[in-house]
Amino acid sequence: MRRIVIAGGGTAGWMAASALARTLGPAIDLTLVESEQIGTVGVGESTIPPLQNFNRILRIPEADFMRATSATFKLGIEFENWKEDGHSYFHSFGTTGRDHWSAGFQHFWLHGLTNGHDAPYDDYCLELLAAHAGRFAHLPNNRMNYAYQLDATRYAAFLRQLAEEDGCRRVEGKIASVELVGETGDISALVLEGGRRVEGDLFLDCTGFRALLIEQAMHVGFDDWTHWLPCDSAIAVQTASVRSPVPFTRAIAHDSGWQWRIPLQHRQGNGIVYCSRYLEHEVALDRLLSTVEGKQLSEPNRLRFTTGARRKQWHRNCIAVGLSGGFLEPLESTSIHLIQRAILRIIRMLPLSGISQRDIAEFNDQHLADLEQIRDFLILHYKATDRRDSPFWRQCASMEIPESLAQKMELFRETGRVFRRNEELFAENSWVQVMMGQGITPHSYHPVATKLTAEELKTLLDGLRDNVRKTVEQLPPHEGFIAQYCAAAEKSPVQPAATVI
């Protein structure tokens, strides 16, 4: 199993190549096949905190990475018009207040409401208040939880350089066909236009929505989730920056979906996500272009997609990475994270010689669990809403949801409790912020909160709130910190057209 072939470049391909080359070095023979004639979908301009771990594994200095990708810091996502038109809430990457081992901070805050403490839940979250104040800094003991807003195309180019320095061989060419072994159904080689064959023992399918290997050649099947996540189209456009970049992403709901705004150092990423059943492409395009700020730097690029997952992510000697394995819309910025999870899982389970069916089964079970847990979190945003102002929102409010999500929602509504299962991506604070932000208010809370006297509860709540406020006041402006720490050399280049989600 020494020869590993990656089909496709882009973010998924070069993340896989750089991680494999840096981790395994001469233990493998690594080849990546891509064509400059084929565009890529630049997934994940907006990311989540685990990307820090991936970069650390690759020993990438943060400032170098941020300069190369014109990145800004991200403390969370501002959700506008989701619960109802005109309402907003913030999903931060941090923790709120201070948890007790038996119960989360929300139980103490809920008890405080019954004792005259009316400070918003938001006031106890450092990352949330820092985001709204436009401030950022690295704090001792990693007290500030953050991710990045970055240029995904530049990130892929940055990783390509690392991968090639570490021994990955790049082959230019379009894949004309996938050669299978008749008796086993394994892939033996990729055949390029012109007849060149690229042989391998293990193949990673990073060909995006086309899924040339895992689906077109191996026919593993696809489970459609659009009955839960009905958006099926997006349009992206890049514009020049007209204001200081804020340390958060905006997700702005409209009558048939939502729009994103992602500020980078050198430009802003904009896009609209919508359900084509309720909104025509030309109307969506006009809505997007009429709301963007700054000079347009790219032609609008349209993307059609089907939300769902391949029935197998690993089949025989082929593993899907990224969009070839399925698609979950970018509402919570999980695209790059799913690529990262697949790559690190591949490295941990890489066979020495023959492929174990037990490995395949375990890989597929774990990755499906990742997809389903993120899927449920995304559905929550559409289901828990007071909006009934359009056919789209009425469909979302009335749809049946997975039992796994229904259990989480009703448990929180009845008791204020959230339980994180296994290595579930979204922690308790994420679920609490989004559920309360979408309008789910617990009817009860944990009795441990009543253990405190009225004076003790006041001291706890006031102290936590004051500490957050004082810390935020001492932070420098986000833009100033970037200028000192990781300013990109190029501020406003005209970018080629790219779909960015």
CA 186 to chain centre: 32
* Pairwise CA distance, residues 11 & 16, whole Å: 8
Closest by Cα among 182, 92, 110, 139 to 416: 110
Encoded amino acid at 195, one letter: G
- 74 carries an active-site annotation: yes
- C-alpha span between 393 and 383 (Å, rounded): 9
Instruction: Check residue 401 and give left, alpha or beta (phi > 0: left; psi -120 to 50: alpha).
Output: beta
Q: Which is catalytic among the residues 74, 312, 383, 408? A: 74
Taking the C-alpha atoms of residue 267 and residue 294, their distance in angstroms, rounded to an integer, is: 9
Three-class SS of 9-24: CHHHHHHHHHHHHHHH
- Which candidate, 389, 466, 492, 479, places its Cα nearest to that of 84? 389
* Residue whose C-alpha is closest to residue 477's, from 275, 277, 244: 244
Calculate the dihedral angle through the C-alpha atoms of 340, 35, 189, 338, rounding to the nearest 10 degrees. 10
Tell me, rounded to whole angstroms, the distance of Cα 103 from its chain centroid. Answer: 28
Q: Which residues pair with 78 in a beta bridge?
A: 90, 250
Q: How far apart are CA 113 and CA 450, in angstroms?
A: 12
8 Å CB contact between 410 and 401:
no
* Helix, strand, coil tally for the chain in percent (to 5): 40, 20, 40
Distance CA 27, CA 184 (A): 26
Q: Are 449 and 110 in contact (CB under 8 A)?
A: yes
Compute the distance between CA of residue 491 and CA of residue 323 in angstroms, rounded to an integer. Answer: 30
Q: How far apart are CA 421 and CA 423, in angstroms?
A: 6
Helical H runs in 249-300? 281-291
Q: Specify burial of residue 262 (Cβ count, 10 A radius: 0-12, 13-18, 19+).
A: buried
- The token duo for 204 is 């990673």
Can you give the C-alpha Rg of the chain in angstroms? 23
- The helix/strand/coil state of 421 is coil
Beta strand 257-263 with 268-274: parallel, antiparallel or unpaired? antiparallel
Q: Tokens 């059943």, residue?
A: 277
| DSSP helix/strand/coil, 150 | coil
* Catalytically annotated residues: 74
